[in-house]
Amino acid sequence: MSVNEILLAAGGALIMAFFSMVGGLWFAGIDRVLAARMQARIGPPVRQPFLDIAKLMIKQNVVPANAIPWLFNGAPVVALASAVTILLYIPMAGIPGLPILQGHGDLVLIMYLLILPALAMVAGGLAAGSPYATIGAQREMVTMIAYELPLAATIIAFAWKFASLGIEHPFSLATVAAQPVWTLVGPVGFMGLLLLLVTMLLVVPGELGRIPFDAPEAETEIAGGLLVEYSGRNLALFTLSLAVKTIVVTSLIVGLFFPWNLTDILAVACCATTAAMINLAFFILKLLVVMFFSVTLVRISVARFRINQVVDVYWKILGVLALLGMFLVMADALF
C-alpha cells in the first residue's frame, strides 16, 4: 500500500467507526421500542441508547482496588476497536469504496476477528477482580466455544459450494456478494441453505450476548457478570462495542444470505450516487429485518438458558442442524 492508500483507509475507518456507532445505537433504540410494543408497552424513545451513553460519559469511572488497571481500562477500547475493524472487511450493498479493506481479508479472518470483542470482554472481566465477573468471563468463553461450531459449519458450507463450482477465492465475501448462493443450488441445496440461515440467525444472540444466550451477563443471578465492576466511560465503550457488533453480525448474515441490491432487482439505471443511496437504504432495511428476527423476536419470546443448556443448544441442536444443512448443500451437487 502506498502512503496515500493508507491515509485513505485510516480516514475511511474513522468515518466507518462514527457511522457504525451511531447506526448501532439507533438499532439498539429500535430494538427496545419494538420489544416494548410486543409487550403492549409504549417503550423508551428511539434515542434512549444515545441518552444512556451521554449519561454514562458523565458518570464516575470506578476502577476497583482489586482490578488490574491497564487491562481493566484497556479491554473496552480493544472491544470497540476490534468490532469496528471487522466492519472494514464486510461488503455493504455494493457501494463503491466499501469495504475499506476490500481484498485484504476473507470469511476465515472475519470468523477469527469476531472472537476479539468477546475475548476483550473476557479479559476485562477477569481483570476486574470480582468473583461475579470471573464467573461471567468463564461463561462467556464457554458460549464462544459453543457457537463456534454452527458458525464454522455454515462458513465451510459456503466455501465448499463456491470451491466445488471452481469459482476463484471461495472464502471471499465479495464472491458471495457477486453470486447469491441461492441461485447456485437446486431444491435439496435450497433446504440446506434454509437450515444454515436458521442456524446463523440463532448464532446472533449468542454472539451479542442477548437473551436467551446471555448467561455471561445474567443480571438476576450473577449481577451483570462480565460487566459487574464496569461503570461510567468503560461501560459506555462496552455498550458501543456491542452496538457496533450488532451491525457487524447482521451485515455478515445479509452479506452471506441476502446480497441482492434493490437497483439490480428493479434495474434502476440512474446516476451512481442515487443508486448507491437506494442500495444503502435497502441494505439498512435488510439489517433491521435480520435484527428483528434474530435479536428482538427471540429475546421477547423466550427466557434465559442455563450455561449448560447454551452448550446443548449450540452443539446438539444447532450444530447438528448446521452440519445437516452443510451435507444437504453438498448432496445437492450430486444430483
Contacting positions for another protein (CB under 8 A)? 32, 36, 39-45, 48, 51-52, 54-55, 58-62, 132, 218-220, 222-224, 227-232, 235
Instruction: State the minimum distance, in angstroms, from the CB of residue 222 to another protein.
Output: 8
Pair 238, 79: CB distance under 8 Å: yes
CA angle 316, 317, 322 (to 5 degrees): 105
Residues in Cβ contact with 84 at an 8 Å cutoff, skipping those fewer than 6 apart? 13, 16, 17, 20, 244
Alpha carbons 276 and 100: distance in angstroms, whole number: 16
Instruction: State the minimum distance, in angstroms, from the CB of residue 2 to another protein.
Output: 44
Choose between 126 and 202: whose C-beta lies nearer to another protein: 126
> Considering Cα of 316, then 322, then 323, then 328, what sign does the dihedral take?
positive
Choose between 2 and 60: whose C-beta lies nearer to another protein: 60
Pair 115, 279: CB distance under 8 Å: no
Choose between 217 and 332: whose C-beta lies nearer to another protein: 217
Choose between 6 and 62: whose C-beta lies nearer to another protein: 62
Return the C-alpha cell found at 286: 435488510
Choose between 130 and 199: whose C-beta lies nearer to another protein: 130
Choose between 106 and 229: whose C-beta lies nearer to another protein: 229
Angstrom distances, CA of residue 109 to CA of 114, 189, 227, 335:
9, 26, 27, 32
Question: How many other C-beta atoms can be found within 10 angstroms of the C-beta atom of residue 30?
Answer: 16
CA angle 252, 253, 256 (to 5 degrees): 85
Choose between 59 and 316: whose C-beta lies nearer to another protein: 59
Instruction: State the minimum distance, in angstroms, from the CB of residue 27 to another protein.
Output: 17
Instruction: State the minimum distance, in angstroms, from the CB of residue 304 to another protein.
Output: 12
Alpha carbons 132 and 157: distance in angstroms, whole number: 38
Instruction: State the minimum distance, in angstroms, from the CB of residue 182 to another protein.
Output: 39
Choose between 149 and 222: whose C-beta lies nearer to another protein: 222
Instruction: State the minimum distance, in angstroms, from the CB of residue 142 to another protein.
Output: 20
Choose between 92 and 235: whose C-beta lies nearer to another protein: 235
Question: How many other C-beta atoms can be found within 10 angstroms of the C-beta atom of residue 335?
Answer: 8
Q: DSSP string covering 144-191, please?
A: HHHHHHHHHHHHHHHHHHHHHTT-S-TT-HHHHHHS-GGGG--HHHHH
Instruction: State the minimum distance, in angstroms, from the CB of residue 228 to another protein.
Output: 5
Instruction: State the minimum distance, in angstroms, from the CB of residue 60 to another protein.
Output: 4
Question: How many other C-beta atoms can be found within 10 angstroms of the C-beta atom of residue 292?
Answer: 17
**What single-letter amino acid sits at 305?**
F
Instruction: State the minimum distance, in angstroms, from the CB of residue 90 to another protein.
Output: 31
Alpha carbons 220 and 211: distance in angstroms, whole number: 12
